[in-house]
């Protein structure tokens, strides 16, 4: 298994006739993702990379059967309508790639998704990858490099940073240890699937033996994961890195959601909370892969 995406899931690309949608659809296809078609209003009947294009998600579902995932490559102001269209057409998982999606649009997407039992990753995400199975979004850049950099294995990665998502996977794979799934949850203040939800999916995934979390200042996702560790709902070893150690209160640290407000979401508070809950904290990003390797070796020595 893996989480969220594998080679069996039927995927469509909304915005497939645009430059980004077309280029990323090719990456996903070449990597092995089961892309079955795309949607662009007014472009129905065309083909992109040999895939049929439909005017709507409902039309695609009627012709292709139930769709498991839609990856949305449309400009930020059009993300809400595209996401709602996919959810109302019965697609259970959506990936919102665009950044700068208006906050109130995301809140509306949350409400519609909750009402329909759907989930979404992002916005402002580079996507999700289950190595040697499938990729959603743009992780890896090109299929050839993605195959070279990542291989499957027992470590699940969740991250609020797109760049560090792939980098963490790359360096862990360089040690010979592979990855079950990499999930970039997105860097905005309001997102779909959060760290606690992804951590619980990894906990239930038999392929994942260890979780790596790339957090940062702002919000409370890291503290919520600490709560899950403390309550025993997460039992797998968790290695955590929290970015933004030097950030001052009121200063945004790169991502929209990475800001300390009213003394909440500080680096020190997150680190203390995670350490108290039993996570292994890494102060330098470059130490993550070595720490994962050491914990794996320690675990094997007790078996």
b/e burial code for range 170-192 (CB count within 10 A of at least 16 → b): bbbbeeebbbbbbbbbbbbebbb
- Helix (H) / strand (E) element for 39: namely strand 35-39
Q: What share of the chain is helix, strand, coil (3-state, %, to 5)?
A: 40, 20, 40
Give the burial class of 9: count Cβ atoms within 10 A of its Cβ; 0-12 exposed, 13-18 middle, 19 or more buried: buried
β 179-184/210-216 pair status:
unpaired
Q: Which of 49, 151, 184, 255 is catalytic?
A: 255
255 is catalytic: yes
Residue 296's contacts (CB-CB under 8 Å, 6 or more residues apart) are 154, 177, 210
Q: Are 162 and 50 in contact (CB under 8 A)?
A: no
Question: How far is residue 6 CA from its own chain's centroid?
Answer: 13
**Which positions are catalytic?**
255
């Amino acid at each position: 298994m893996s989480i969220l995406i594998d080679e069996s899931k039927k995927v469509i690309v909304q915005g497939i006739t645009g430059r980004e949608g077309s280029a990323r659809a090719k990456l996903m296809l070449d990597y092995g993702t089961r892309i079955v078609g795309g949607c662009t209003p007014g472009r129905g009947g065309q083909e992109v990379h040999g895939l049929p294009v439909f005017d709507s998600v409902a039309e695609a579902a009627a012709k292709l059967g139930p769709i498991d995932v839609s990856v949305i490559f449309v400009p930020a102001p059009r993300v809400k309508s595209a996401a709602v269209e996919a959810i109302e057409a019965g697609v259970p998982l959506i990936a919102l790639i665009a950044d700068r999606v208006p906050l109130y649009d995301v809140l509306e997407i949350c409400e519609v998704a909750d009402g329909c039992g759907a989930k979404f990753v992002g916005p402002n995400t580079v996507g999700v990858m289950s190595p040697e199975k499938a990729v959603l979004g743009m992780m890896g850049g090109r299929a050839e490099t993605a195959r070279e950099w990542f291989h499957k294995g027992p470590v699940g990665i969740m991250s609020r940073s797109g760049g560090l998502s792939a980098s963490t996977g790359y360096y862990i794979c360089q040690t010979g240890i592979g990855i079950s799934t990499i999930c970039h949850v997105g860097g905005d203040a309001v997102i779909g699937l959060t760290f606690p939800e992804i951590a619980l999916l990894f906990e239930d995934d038999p392929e994942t033996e260890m979780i790596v979390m790339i957090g940062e200042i702002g919000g409370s996702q890291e503290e919520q994961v600490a709560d899950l560790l403390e309550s025993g709902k997460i039992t797998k070893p968790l290695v955590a890195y929290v970015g933004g150690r030097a950030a001052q209160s009121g200063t945004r640290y790169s991502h929209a959601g990475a800001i300390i407000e009213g003394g909440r979401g500080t680096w020190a508070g997150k680190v203390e909370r995670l350490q108290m809950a039993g996570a292994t904290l890494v102060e330098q990003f470059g130490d993550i892969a070595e720490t994962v390797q050491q914990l794996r070796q320690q675990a094997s020595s007790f078996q």
